Amino acid sequence: MRPLTLSRLLLQCLILAIILFCVMVLALKFGAIHVSLYGLGRDLLRVFLGKSSDISSEYSLILNLRLPRILLGAFVGAALSVAGTSFQALLRNPLADPYVLGVSSGAAVGAILALLLEPHLALTPEFAAVFTPLGAFLGAAVAITAVYFLGHRNGQIDSSTLLLGGVIIASLLSALIVLLLTTLPSSNFRGMAYWLMGELSAVPSQPLAWVLRVGFVVAAIVIYTTASDLNLLLAGEKEAMHLGVDVRRVRIIAYIAASALTGLAVSVSGAVGYVGLLIPHLMRMIYGADHRILIPASAFGGAIAVVIADILARTIAAPNELPVGAITAIAGAPLFIYLLRRRFA
């Protein structure tokens, strides 16, 4: 018997953090402008030491343009993976993921509605900054509530009904998105269509960036406080209840927090698919199904995956860029099919 200890958890997180750091440095290096690792390291150190004025213009460009995008990718990956991990435990379905369940589409509809409404409302700048993520969060929350009720049969969650419910909600919402997009001026259409595929080129403004950071940290911590309850929920709600889990409280907390994470990620990156499905699975294979380690591992894993996907998106068809969501979908869809066949074989 070797139960999880705090020191083992911190060690694993440290290892993953180092991998993430290395991947981020590589992501800084690759792109249209070529830079050396040595130069990058030197200038990063200067930034950390507060000597930003000594940085050469080439590297300054990299740090100002590439770094925020990479950080955004890491944030989106972490948020979607943690949301996916939570949905899989809450719905007792290893195929649950914000994208597959239509939660990302719900967030997208919410975000588009917020974008359409914003010019017509006299919002203060502070509120305007949170308006889109708020819309996305509400959209995500409505979608997961609908899927949850569609997936219920005789008071129990039914796996296949749930997935079908997700597919139906997602297709309904996609139609709604197309309808909303046609109301946009044509110049915005391509940008929006790209955004829907999942992309990281629109780096959020400062107030929005703060909303994302604070929102992510709060929602992730809230989910993490339910980690050991989620372990027991995997065995079913009744069983968890008999082991002392306040099932209703955990469910509400984790659904809201996971919807918030999805909403935040979608509001800045569109629908980056399959990250929330693929990464929790990979991490579960490595670290096991204990959510006390699975949640932080998924956060790091998701961040690493999206940063790598973004490197590919920027370099495969350079100088053109692919949406990062296309890369994650190409990698994720075959895995989804594999899992589906294995589960229902």
Partner 1 sequence: MTAGVKSAARGAGESTRISNDPRLSVEQVSYAYTPNPQQAPVFTLEATSFQAKAGEIVAVLGPNASGKSTLLQIISGALQPLSGRVLLNGFVTHQLEPRARGRRIAMVQQESQLLFPSKAWEFVLQGRHPYGKSLRFESDEDVTIAQNALAQVGAEHLADRWMDQISGGEKQRVILARALAQQPLLLLLDEPTLHLDIGAQIDLLETLRRLAAENRYTVVVVTHELNLAGEYADQVVLLQKGKCLRVGPPASVYRRDLLEQVFQTQLTVETGASGRPRVSILPGAQ
Q: Interface residues with partner 1 (CB under 8 A)? A: 1, 3-6, 9, 92, 94, 224-229, 231-232, 234-236, 238-239, 241-247, 284, 288-290, 292
Q: Which is nearer to partner 1, 100 or 266 (CB)?
A: 100
Given the complex with partner 1, which of 54 and 246 has the nearer CB atom?
246
Residues in the chain: 345
- In the complex with partner 1, which residue's Cβ is closer, 49 or 285? 285
User: Closest Cα to residue 302, out of 100, 98, 89, 31?
Assistant: 98
Question: Toward partner 1, which CB reaches closer, 91 or 260?
Answer: 91
User: How near is the Cβ of 105 to partner 1 at its closest, in Å?
Assistant: 25
CA distances from 323 to 47, 92, 191, 197, 310 (A): 29, 31, 11, 6, 8
For 274, left (φ over 0), alpha (ψ -120 to 50), or beta?
A: left
> C-beta of 211: minimal distance to partner 1 in Å?
26
| Minimum distance, C-beta of residue 85 to partner 1, in the bound complex (Å) | 12
Q: Which is nearer to partner 1, 226 or 262 (CB)?
A: 226
For residue 264, the minimal CB distance to partner 1 (Å) is: 23
Q: For the CB of residue 232, give the shortest distance to partner 1 in the complex, in Å.
A: 6
Residue 156: what are its φ and ψ, rounded to 5°? -120, 150
Instruction: Give the C-alpha separation, 174 to 168, whole Å.
Output: 10
- Which of 232, 303 has the CB closer to partner 1? 232
Q: What is the rounded distance in angstroms from the CA atom of residue 265 to the CA atom of residue 221? A: 16
Alpha-carbon distances of 334 from 36, 303, 339, rounded to whole Å = 35, 21, 9
- Least distance (Å) from partner 1 to the CB of residue 249? 9
Identify which of 48, 31, 36, 173 has the alpha carbon closest to the alpha carbon of residue 99.
173
